[in-house]
Structure 1
């Protein structure tokens, strides 16, 4: 055997032994990297789970339970979820329709806008049936008028009043004006009868609003002072209705 052949045999044997050593080393490292951390990962992952989320082995119920109380929402009617109380709406409407009825300050001092929005829409609808498209004026004068009355009442009363309460009272007291605009559908109000009816409706609305305000804010002896700016506001609605 020549020296060259002997050199080739020794070279391949040395390479084979080196490859075996590398494979055994890589296998041992892979076992150390994959096998040992797996054993250590299990208690680490278990430590990250809150104890209240760990279920017993014999648990057969649902895993996820709703956090909210569904019994309350299932028992309450849908209209109560919106915050609409028809009993209070009816009592406020009767208080406006009967100016001589004493107002309940506890009920009137609430931010209830369901009735006022309904009456504003009814006023605009009756004016539309009479041939007058005045929705923008109704909404605009309502918003500006509520701001003015709100500022005036806060200056006059020591208790103070919210803007929502003022808008609620003025909106409910708009109901007699809806009656006047409904009459304008069938006959014209531009005459002595229409002017007299408009003045009576203005006095009706302003008297009811001032009665509710002094009852809710404990402003005894100041009804005429409150009724005057209310009469100016409802006079604007009367002008829309008559002319």
Structure 2
């Protein structure tokens, strides 16, 4: 009887496959975000929220290590930022806009990765110096560049307004960097 039950479990697919979690695709999406010059929009066509949520939690964890308890603020700002970018992009694109809120939240979460790295680096930088502002702006532009290019390429009819979309993304990521700096 024990041999039949162990044979039953051997025939089952792995748990991640049953849940529909593709670790290779998650890894490729993350590596794509790490390249600020060429990010692959084809990887981000289908949104997921597990990895962006993990990035947000790690951002909050690094802030906790810096002595700041910002978990609620970070999650609240991401929701507000997603609604802001969703409405801004769809107003700019008009009737031709095809950005949904789920994909917008996924993109904002994935593009938080450079700011998570900045949050980790800031633990070792002196507070209030010029260096942290300069490094912060580099990471803000990195997140802005990747998020803008992915938003414009994934949602149709946004090429001519990429500057406006970029400005909205810059405002979002600038707010998150200010949490790290101050």
Same topology, TM > 0.5: yes
Displacement, 1:75?
4.0
Q: Is the 8 A contact 2:90 2:98 kept in 1?
A: yes
Displacement, 1:214?
1.2
List per-residue Cα deviations over 1:174-221 (Å, max 9, x = no partner). Answer: 001111111122222421111111111111101100011111113324
| Cα gap change, 1:191 to 1:230, in 2 (>3 Å) | same
Residue in structure 2 matched with residue 214 of structure 1 by the alignment: 152
Q: TM-score, normalised by structure 2?
A: 0.87
| Cα gap change, 1:222 to 1:92, in 2 (>3 Å) | farther
Give yes or no for the alignment of 1:79 onto 2:19. Answer: no
Q: Which has the higher contact order (CA 8 A, sep 6+)?
A: 2
Q: Is the 8 A contact 1:97 1:176 kept in 2?
A: yes
Report the Cα distance in structure 1 between the residues aligned to 2:173 and 2:127, rounded to whole angstroms. Answer: 16
Give yes or no for the alignment of 1:242 onto 2:178. Answer: no
Q: Is the 8 A contact 1:210 1:223 kept in 2?
A: yes
Q: Matched residue of 1:149: which SS?
A: helix
Q: TM-score, normalised by structure 1?
A: 0.66
Residue in structure 2 matched with residue 137 of structure 1 by the alignment: 73
List per-residue Cα deviations over 1:217-237 (Å, max 9, x = no partner). Answer: 133243222111111011111
Displacement, 1:146?
0.4
Unaligned runs of 5+ residues in structure 2 are 1-7
Q: Matched residue of 2:159: which SS?
A: coil
Displacement, 1:93?
1.1
Q: Which has the larger radius of gyration?
A: 1
C-alpha RMSD over aligned residues: 1.8
Unaligned runs of 5+ residues in structure 1 are 1-70
Q: Is the 8 A contact 2:33 2:39 kept in 1?
A: no
